[in-house]
């Protein structure tokens, strides 16, 4: 169960009248948007670039229904299981065309922009069939790489085990579409929301995530505004849990006192920090987001290698 605390903090001093903005979705049945995503990932060790990868993804959305209370959105994503498997066998995309796109149907409330995934069961069935079909083709046409496919699928199989996991997965990809709505904005003010939820690795612990949402500017000529979003995650309890887990693993393998002491020293140096920033460009006349630049940075230490690590992902999403 999530407990949400909302506090409005003034990030600038305001004198006199400050205009309020509270955006609502004003879409029409038949509205369509094509989405292109360019993701650049860089990995560093002690400041040295170790890997540089660029990934392209596509998606689309369409308003398929509208009633007095809500909109129904149809969202098509590239099937990430198929994309991953194509790297092992090039012809897979041609043989499994029916599994190219994952379809998700969402209901979006007109007043508060709350959303609900309506076809969760169908999406789960589609992905399970996709996993099976891909595995069968690889076993037949590329038996040398087939043994690796379970490892490739493992994260996605976890995603599609529950409705909540699927919604969280989609949130990372298109959650920005709903970010501007149902907020009491003033230019330059920051809205702070803190969510507390169970640590999935230890239900007795909680992890907090604080979202800082700021309406940075409004351009009345172009009918657009810029919204900045930053997510701060408190990983202190998670880090302590990881340290304890690693030490227990060392002890379970019968490590002697000197090895245990060395492991303890290594884990004392274990650090991890996550930065998550988004710049959202929003057309308040059409009420569609048009562009998002998201930067995710994970920094930490690798106790075994004794190096500082940084993983940086910059995603540029364009909706037309």
- Report pLDDT digits (tens) over 103-158: 999 999 999 999 999 999 999 999 999 999 999 999 998 888 888 888 888 888 88
261 vs 317, higher pLDDT? 317
Q: How high is the pLDDT of residue 115?
A: 92
- Buried b / exposed e over 142-166, threshold 16 CB at 10 Å, is beeebeebeebbeebeebbeeeeeb
What single string gives the DSSP state of each residue in 72-136? Answer: EEEEEEE-HHHHHHHTT-TTHHHHTGGGSEEEEEEEEETTT--EEES-HHHHHHHHHHHHHHHHH
Residue of 54 and 262 predicted with greater confidence = 54
Question: What pTM did the predictor assign?
Answer: 0.79
pLDDT for residue 15 is more than 60: no
**pLDDT tens per residue, range 229-269:** 998 877 666 666 666 666 666 565 555 555 555 655 555 66
Contacts 24+ apart (CB under 8 A), 53-61: 57/83, 58/34, 59/35, 59/173, 59/174, 60/32, 60/33, 60/34, 60/35, 61/32, 61/33, 61/35, 61/174, 61/177
């Amino acid at each position: 169960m999530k407990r949400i605390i909302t506090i409005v903090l003034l990030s600038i001093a305001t004198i006199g009248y400050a205009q309020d903005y509270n955006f609502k979705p004003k879409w029409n049945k038949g509205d369509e948007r094509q989405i292109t995503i360019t993701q650049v990932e860089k990995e560093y060790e002690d400041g040295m670039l170790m890997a540089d990868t660029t990934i392209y993804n596509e998606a689309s959305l369409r308003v398929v229904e509208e009633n007095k209370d809500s909109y129904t959105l149809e969202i098509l994503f590239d099937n990430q299981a198929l994309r991953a498997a194509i790297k092992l066998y090039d012809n897979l995309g041609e043989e499994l065309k029916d599994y190219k796109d994952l379809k998700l149907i969402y209901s979006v409330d007109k007043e508060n922009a709350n959303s609900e995934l309506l076809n969760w069961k169908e999406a789960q069935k589609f992905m399970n069939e996709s996993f099976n079909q891909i595995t069968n083709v690889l076993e037949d046409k590329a038996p040398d790489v087939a043994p690796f496919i379970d490892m490739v699928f493992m994260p996605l199989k976890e995603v599609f085990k529950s409705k909540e996991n699927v919604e969280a997965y989609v949130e990372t990809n298109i959650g920005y579409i709903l970010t501007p709505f149902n907020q009491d904005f003033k230019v330059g003010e920051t809205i702070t929301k803190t969510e507390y939820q169970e640590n999935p690795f230890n239900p007795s612990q909680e992890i907090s995530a604080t979202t800082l949402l700021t309406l940075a500017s409004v351009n009345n000529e172009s009918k657009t505004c810029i919204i900045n979003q930053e997510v701060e995650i408190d990983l202190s309890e998670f880090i302590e849990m990881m340290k304890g887990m690693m030490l227990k693993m060392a002890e379970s393998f019968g490590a002697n006192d000197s090895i245990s002491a060395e492991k303890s020293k290594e884990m004392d140096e274990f650090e991890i920090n996550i930065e998550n920033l988004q710049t959202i460009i929003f057309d308040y006349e059409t009420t569609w987001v048009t562009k998002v630049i998201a930067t995710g940075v994970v920094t930490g230490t690798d106790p075994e290698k004794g190096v500082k690590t940084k993983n940086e992902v910059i995603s540029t999403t364009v909706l037309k």
